[in-house]
């Protein structure tokens, strides 16, 4: 009985270590994606905070109308640049949320993770620049 408990404890520690390693990998890929954005985009992100969470909270999931916590990969929260005014002072930071576990699932593993993160980041950044979902989809549509 004692050996089984020890094996479970070791397995639990390894699982936690793997989770930490995946979080570090993901966070590193997000930093790379931000660094690879063109400078003119980064210049317009002065008041934008990029946050990584495992999942969106239940209230956010309900408010955007998705059925599952796995369906929301990212979210822009703020006032798009196209709607901001010179007279708006003291604005809270705009926020781009990237949801780690849904993005990792959508990527199908670590081999496509950089691409998936970039796609979600650019999509949410597009909202910051004032584009809606339809416009963003049209811009990224691939002709067959």
Please tell me the distance from the alpha carbon of residue 96 to that of residue 92, in angstroms, as a whole number: 13
Question: Hunting for tokens 């781009």 — which residue is that?
Answer: 96
Q: What is the pTM of this model?
A: 0.78
Strand partners, 94: 48
Set out the domains of the chain in order of their start, with CATH numbers: 12-140 (3.30.2010.20)
pLDDT in tens for each of the 144 residues of the chain? 445 557 666 555 555 555 666 888 899 999 999 999 888 888 888 888 999 999 999 999 999 999 999 999 999 998 887 777 766 666 668 899 999 999 999 999 888 999 999 999 999 998 887 777 777 777 666 554
């Amino acid at each position: 009985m004692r050996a089984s408990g020890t094996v479970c404890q070791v397995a639990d520690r390894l699982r936690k270590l793997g989770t930490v390693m995946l979080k570090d990998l993901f966070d590193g890929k997000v930093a790379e994606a931000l660094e690879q954005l063109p400078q003119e985009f980064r210049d317009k992100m002065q008041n934008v905070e990029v946050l990584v969470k495992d999942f969106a909270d239940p209230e956010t999931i309900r408010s955007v109308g998705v059925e599952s916590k796995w369906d929301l990969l990212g979210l822009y929260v703020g006032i798009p640049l196209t709607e901001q005014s010179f007279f708006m002072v003291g604005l809270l930071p705009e926020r781009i949320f990237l949801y780690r576990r849904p993005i990792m699932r959508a990527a199908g593993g670590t081999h496509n993770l950089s691409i998936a993160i970039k796609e979600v980041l650019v999509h949410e950044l597009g909202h910051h620049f004032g584009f809606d979902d339809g416009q963003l989809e049209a811009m990224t549509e691939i002709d067959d």
